[in-house]
Amino acid sequence: MSANWKNRLLEHYRDHARDLPWRVRPGSNRRPDPYHVWLSEVMLQQTTVATVTPRFARFIEKWPEVSDLASASREVLLAEWAGLGYYARARNLHGCAQQVVALGGFPEDEAGLRELPGIGAYTAAAIAAIAFDADSVPIDTNVERVVARIEGIEGPLAETRSEVHDAARALWPKERAGDFAQAMMDLGATICRPKTPRCGECPVSGDCAAFATGAPEAIPAPKVRKARPERRGTAWWIERDGAVWLVRRPAKGMLGGMAALPGSEWTDGAWPEEPEQAVRHVFTHFALTLAIEPRDVPPEGEGWWQPIDRIDEAGLPTLYAKVVEAMTLVS
């Protein structure tokens, strides 16, 4: 491997960096805003850049500073987060913002960042490298794939992750860690893609072991996919005078603290027979079929009547938004 491939990658990043609202262009005299870096990294966990970009802009417009986010009500924050999924992120976001304000700002090192709610190893390294130019090595799925291909590490990432991470730390430059991290992320997202990598556009293909094999898409080897478990439950549709009865889910657990339709507990297994009305939603670890059961009277407990023509203001997660869509289409 030639000694200047890292410089070529950084030059390519300077000329072709993605224009993202949380990013400071390479070569700029401005420093990245730690609040923007943190917020974007939390949003991007298990969520695409295309989905996050407009939602990030809405968050920053609503809460321009981390102190604004810290003082927001959790219910309003959860409603704004609706549709982004993985709702524990929103709850941790709120707690983290409050702790950052109490500290007087974001810690500038990985160890300090790891003490904050919802910030794991990758996110801490990303904030430290990108916002503070610390000597940190953030390794996301794009970086794992790029490193595995450059180094020719062939096995599935589930089996080779430790080797890939060791290789990443060994090749990471001690200076410009943030720019290098974003260059590697962009390379993996736009050129060194999982399928049909665009090697002809890659600034480091001449130093890539996977490219030399003639079949770069075969590295890393694909993981063996397991069948996703099935679960089932019931959502109660209780409508009166143009409004539907909503409740708030328990703070802990799936969709914790989110607005929802009332209904039964979710149980393992598929429905023996397809319900007359139902929606299906695929979570990360299981698929859920939710039967829709019209009812006349709300269950005991707290809740509220939400006008159906203002249902978007409730902040329903995608699962329950699907139920609303199904019921309003048939009415």
Q: Which helix (H) or strand (E) holds 305?
A: strand 304-307
- Pairing outcome for strands 267-268 and 230-240: antiparallel
Integer angstrom CA distances of residue 40 from 44, 55, 89, 167, 213: 6, 10, 12, 26, 36
Q: CA-CA distance, 261 to 322, in Å (whole number)?
A: 11
Active site residue 41: yes
> Residue 245: CB partners within 8 Å, gap ≥ 6?
236, 238, 239, 261, 262, 298, 303, 304, 305, 306
Annotated catalytic residue, options 11, 41, 163, 325: 41
Handedness of CA 305, 311, 316, 318 (dihedral sign): positive
- DSSP lists the bridge partners of residue 288 as 231, 281
Segments in 236-317 forming alpha helices (H) = none
Closest C-alpha to 39, from 69, 72, 18: 69
Q: CA-CA distance, 281 to 323, in Å (whole number)?
A: 10
Q: CA-CA distance, 138 to 38, in Å (whole number)?
A: 13
Q: CA-CA distance, 14 to 193, in Å (whole number)?
A: 20
Cis peptide before 107 (omega within 30 of 0): no
- Rounded to 10°, the helix 34-43/88-103 angle is 160
Residues labelled catalytic: 41
